[in-house]
Chains A and B, each alone.
Chain A
Amino acid sequence: MMRTIKKDGYNLHIIKTNKFKTITIKLIFWNELKEDELTLRNLLADNLLFSSEKYNDNRKMSIKKQELYSANIYSSTYRSGTQIVTEINLSCIEDKYTEKGNFEASLDFLFECLNKPNINNNAFESVAFNITKDRLKAAIKNEKDNPNFYSYMRYKEIIGNNKVLMGSILGTIESLEKTTEKDLFNYYKNFFSNNHIDIYVLGNIDEDLIESIFEKNIKINKNDIKYIDVTTTYEKGFSEDIEDSKFNQSKLIMGASTKDLTNNEKKYEGIIYNIILGNSPNSKLFQTIREKKSYAYTISSSMSRLDGMFVIFAGISEKNYEDTKNEVYNQLEKMKLGDFTKNEIKNAKEIILSILKEIDDSPNSIIDHYHNYLYYDTDTIEKQKEAIKAVTKESIITVAKKINIDTIYMLKEDVYEKNTNK
């Protein structure tokens, strides 16, 4: 069970368990996504873990991590509904398997990263700063190399009327070029005060010791941050776009807003609908478009409660574009007409029940579950199980009737590229 302690400016959540050989610590910094902040946010997370006051270049930093039995410390920044989230994660091995004092030394290292960055004259140290800047620039460029990512980003741009849903969360090259070491330092100074902060510690640990260590090392004067709705959605008329590319395979995306679904439908009936239609190898889309027609290797659908959108994604050849599209419409129609069996419903429910059961086997899933329960309006595991079991055929048909494709986008293959032998 989780114990939550309110501290100055953050919540400390302690989950004691002896199921793992590792101890997992996750600091979650989160707030409303603002486009102009993305560059700084990504740079900061990278800089904090790249070097510090004591370990003032990346080599020294890496040596320290190795000495701590390769303490795994990493950050990730991602969007979750209307929120931008930055996580700093530390996973290290329990002292029993390494040596006495290794865990506390790993914690000291974490606090060094957070509290004592590599600063010169009120600015982040230039060498490290410029390296992280280059890395971010390369990451922004690389996003366009990935046809799945690129087509999905273009799709979201077409949906367009809600800015938070769009684009890359890495920020733009233009804003990156303008950002200086001083800007990043100013951003750092207020970063802790300007974010909601939740810290999770999971593993075979001494709870009182953890509490006192964090109390000593993390103190924050919190600014007043407002909470906004974490979910969003969009509304638009029908559009169909085809764009040329230099890729081998065409990517087809067809999607619909879920604005007419109730909150409960987004959480439960919609999830079951999604699995039956397109999110399992037994689904209608997989069985027809892949297995019967051989049009695709990848075909799946996904439902995002937080983004209020439903999307079908397929990797196809352009010559099968019209047929694939028509087959998708056929299957959507079948869902509306209730042309699916009790067994299909039961199997879809089993998938969710199994995922819920397996949460307990992974430190990250356990932490994510608690965090979503606290802030993203998900229910307890028990309540989720009950609600999933209670989903009926009629309620799925009700959802099906509210899902109407409003956006079609295809990133079209290049015939010349297709014929080269790679």
Chain B
Amino acid sequence: MKKIQINNFTESLYYDELSNGLKVYVVPMKNKKNFSSMIVTKYGGRDINFSIDGNSYNTPSGIAHFLEHKMFERDIDPFKFYGKFGTDVNAATSDDYTCYYFIGSKCFKKSLKYLLNWIQKLDITDEQVEKEKGIILEEASMYKDNPSRVIYNKIKENIFVNDPKKNKVIGTDEDIKSITKNDLDLCYNNFYIPNNMYLLVAGNVNPTEVFQIADSETKKFKKKETKGIPIYGKEPDNVAKQYEEIYMNIGVPKVNLSYKINKDSFKVLNLTPFELDLYLHFLINISLGVTSEIRQEWIKKELFTDAFYRISEIESHYVIEFHANSNKEEELLQSLKKYLHNLELDQDSFEREKKIWIANEIRAIENPTNTLYSILDDLLDYNCFISNKIECIKNLSFSTLLKVRDLINYDNEIIIKILPLQLQDKNSK
């Protein structure tokens, strides 16, 4: 068990890899009453094509999420088990991972033992698989009424050409209907293996005890060298579809402009992935965030009522997304595109940006659940936990920020608009 202090805080991270390859991370927080624990497999909505021992497989979209639902099928199911202690339990599937977690304040040891045993077995019947389809189709139906969700999925679909991240995590209706027990078994057996998983724990716990339990409860959970290896394909710089309009039952139009940016553009700067992420966030927030001049100008011209940005990534590319609710979406888009080619940055804003990110790091370790996600994000993005983030933030330099700005290439963009249904009637008449 290794130990490392988190920033200049009183909290430390204890971590190690068990002999079966399961990586364990623990942050004890003495003054909290509750605790939170999560087991994660690096297998998500994106991992539909993979190879095992040289053979390749294509599975239906939505299968990781379907599997997450079926993991709850057990003699004493997780809701029943954790219900006894009033402990919250749930699971979630993203593009890149599936996680199972509990948050409670009572019977920690039993809770952790159950979590570790829960994910070591999948035992389902054809009938149980069929039964789940109605539930998941209703879940999918609910998401189709959520404009933010629709736009999020459209961005992925239209920006990626080969990468399976273009698929919805929940899958298409047709794919959900086609999923069989055999599909689920195949994915479970090749991705729910200790050397593809993390165990994270934070809160009022004893780290030595956590490692002991993790070790003893996973004795039969064997490492597997021939695990599933996801096939993502080589992603080109161009986008799949440049423009799309969608009509929905909404009042104010929503517009999105996203750029696909090859990470190789920044290679000359020799930055760590974490530093590059920070510089990009700094850059966008300084130039388009709440303190930018241009934003005030757009607000005064009533170009939007609400706007935000987001940066996501795959191994080879960044995706920078600009979102706005706007009644003058064309004018906003034109103005935004023009502005991006000529971003103004100043040193004062840069120094303020550091304070924001330092504050974020402090808030990230304020409760057990936030702490887990903060560790998980690092593991997924950087393959390790970065314990001295505040120091890294303080060391960023303004001149490097300017270089990052100059290296961004805005050639590959997509635009997506969600428009009110009334406009569709008008447009078709």
**Which A residues are closer than 8 A to B by beta carbons?**
18-22, 57-59, 62-63, 66-67, 69-70, 93, 97-98, 127, 131, 134-135, 137-138, 141-142, 144-145, 147, 245-249, 280-282, 290-291, 293-298, 315-317, 346-347, 349-355, 357-358, 360-362, 413, 417-418, 421-422
Contacts and interface: CB of A to CB of B under 8 A. Distances in A.
A142 B325 CA distance: 10
Contacts of A354: 85-87, 104-106
A350 B83 contact: yes
Contacts of A362: 367
A156 to B, nearest CB: 20
A58 B83 CA distance: 47
Nearest to A62: B290
Contacts of A141: 251-252
Contacts of B292: 59
Interface string B250-291: 111000000000000000000000000000000000000111
B110 interface: no
A66 B31 CA distance: 29
Contacts of B86: 347, 349-355
Nearest to A316: B138
A352 B83 CA distance: 11
A143 to B, nearest CB: 8
A57 B421 CA distance: 36
B302 to A, nearest CB: 6
Contacts of B142: 248-249, 297-298, 315
B150 A422 contact: yes
B136 A19 contact: no
Contact of A57 (B79, B173, B296, B365): B296
Contact of A350 (B84, B131, B153): B84
Contact of A294 (B31, B131, B248, B252): B131
A20 B31 CA distance: 9
Chain B CB count within 10 A is highest, among A66, A147, A248, A346, for A66
Contact-size category for B? 35 or more
B146 to A, nearest CB: 8
A295 B251 contact: no
B208 interface: no
Contact of B367 (A144, A246, A361): A361
Nearest to B305: A138
Contacts of B360: 70
A59 B290 contact: yes
B198 to A, nearest CB: 24
Contact of B306 (A62, A138, A422): A138
A66 B292 CA distance: 12
Contacts of A358: 33-34, 105
A360 B33 contact: yes
B243 to A, nearest CB: 17
Contacts of B136: 297
A311 to B, nearest CB: 18
Interface string B126-148: 00000111111011011011010
Contacts of B421: 246
Given A21-B365, A355-B86, 10 more contacts: A19-B31, A22-B366, A58-B299, A59-B291, A97-B9, A138-B252, A247-B249, A249-B138, A293-B134, A354-B87
A58 B296 contact: yes
Contacts of B131: 294
Interface in B92-108: 104-106
Contact of A59 (B153, B252, B293, B325): B293
B359 interface: yes
19 contacts: A19-B32, A21-B363, A22-B363, A59-B295, A67-B355, A70-B355, A70-B359, A93-B362, A134-B305, A142-B251, A281-B79, A294-B138, A297-B142, A315-B142, A350-B83, A350-B106, A353-B86, A354-B106, A361-B367
Contacts of B106: 350, 354, 357
Contacts of A317: 138, 141
A290 B135 contact: yes
Contacts of B144: 248-249, 417, 422
B246 interface: yes
Contacts of A293: 134
Interface in B211-264: 246, 248-252
B23 to A, nearest CB: 27
A135 B305 contact: yes
Most buried by B among A141, A245, A354: A354
A13 B41 CA distance: 46
> Which among B83, B290, B325, B363 has the greatest number of chain A C-beta atoms within 10 A?
B83
Interface in B331-385: 352-353, 355-356, 358-360, 362-363, 365-367
Contact of B362 (A21, A144, A147, A413): A21
Interface in B147-194: 147, 150, 153, 172-173
Nearest to A92: B359
A80 B292 CA distance: 37
A131 B303 CA distance: 11
B80 interface: yes
B355 A297 contact: no
Query: What 8 pairs between A and B have smallest CB-CB spacing?
Result: A294-B134, A354-B86, A141-B251, A350-B86, A138-B305, A297-B139, A281-B79, A246-B249
Contacts of A291: 135
B2 interface: no
B300 interface: yes
B291 A245 contact: no
A147 B358 CA distance: 38
B141 A315 contact: yes
Contact of B138 (A145, A147, A315, A421): A315
A271 B250 CA distance: 35
B210 to A, nearest CB: 19
A17 B104 CA distance: 22
Given A131-B300, A295-B138, A93 B359 contact: yes
Q: Indicate the member of A249, A282, A362, A421 with the most B CB atoms within 10 Å.
A: A249
A355 B360 CA distance: 27
Interface string B19-50: 00000000000011110000000000000000
Nearest to B147: A145
Given A138-B325, A282-B80, A418-B141, A357 B105 contact: yes
B79 A280 contact: yes
A350 B88 CA distance: 11
A418 B237 CA distance: 34
Given A70-B359, A138-B306, A317-B141, A296 B85 contact: no
A411 to B, nearest CB: 10
A288 B352 CA distance: 54
A97 B10 CA distance: 11
Most buried by B among A134, A291, A294, A361: A361
Contacts of A298: 138, 142
A355 B138 CA distance: 30
A296 B135 CA distance: 5
- Residue among A247, A295, A355 with max Cβ neighbours from chain B (10 Å): A247
Given A22-B366, A135-B305, A317-B141, A280 B83 contact: yes
Contacts of A290: 135
A361 B84 CA distance: 21
A369 B104 CA distance: 19
Nearest to A21: B362
A351 B142 CA distance: 27
